Copies of this chain bind each other. A is one copy, B any other.
Amino acid sequence: MTEAQEGRRTGILFDLDGTLIDSVYQHVLAWREALEAEGIDIPVWKIHRKIGMSGGLFARALLREVGAPIGHDVAERLQARHHDAFERYRGGVRPLPGAVDLLERLTAYRTPWAVATSGRLATAGPSLALLGVPEGVPIITRDAVARAKPDPDLFLAAADALGLAIEDCVVVGDSVWDLLAARRARALSIGLLSGGYGTDELERAGAFRVYEDPGDLLRHLDEVGIRELE
């Protein structure tokens, strides 16, 4: 195989929570607890719709909802409170249906793949352990970039870590923020319903295709041009 053929490989850049791991609803309730402890009253569904944004943008989005500024100290405390609350919910967190099989299939196909999450490594680590991610797979967390989703930095860094141009990568995510970040990076994107958003929301945010969960994507890999390397 020549270098030129290598260069035409498609890489897959995965979001983590709601895309590979069934953890969105637990994160949502952990944020609800953290916000209420800081006297910020936001209904649960609105938190759900902001999940997956970077912490800074999340704080600014909340500001719009409550009409009051969220200072740096409060933002720091919110992060810590969310982390602590999520630890209490973590016992119920599982891989999404087909997630482990999908990652194994991609590895067997020699399709390059990486994980790019707005979460911090401290929170993401145990979730990655549930998936049995093999060594050598790039894991890009919030700690590694200046701006998280819907900025494209996480996906750009992940493509870079795979040695691929972003135009040769497909982003897989469950939230509109993943899909908006993918569009800003000029990557194609696949939306998964497993984070609890509707098909319409994901398509309107630019999803190239929408599937139920990682298992459903695995059954339709041919539709998105992923096949065994010959």
Contacts and interface: CB of A to CB of B under 8 A. Distances in A.
25 contacts: A22-B43, A22-B44, A24-B44, A25-B28, A25-B29, A25-B32, A25-B44, A25-B45, A29-B29, A29-B89, A29-B92, A32-B92, A41-B94, A41-B97, A43-B94, A43-B213, A44-B196, A45-B193, A48-B196, A197-B198, A198-B198, A198-B200, A198-B201, A199-B200, A200-B200
A26 interface: yes
**How many copies of this chain?**
2
A195 interface: yes
A182 interface: no
A7 to B, nearest CB: 36
A23 B25 CA distance: 12
Nearest to A65: B97
Given A25-B48, A32-B92, A41-B94, 18 more contacts: A22-B45, A25-B25, A26-B29, A33-B92, A36-B92, A43-B94, A43-B96, A43-B97, A43-B213, A44-B196, A45-B193, A45-B194, A45-B196, A196-B196, A197-B198, A198-B198, A199-B200, A200-B201
B194 A43 contact: yes
The A contact surface, by secondary structure, is helix
Contacts of A32: 25, 92
Nearest to A194: B45
Nearest to A93: B44
B45 A195 contact: yes
Interface in A160-216: 193-201, 213
Contacts of A94: 41, 43
A48 B43 CA distance: 16
Contacts of A195: 45
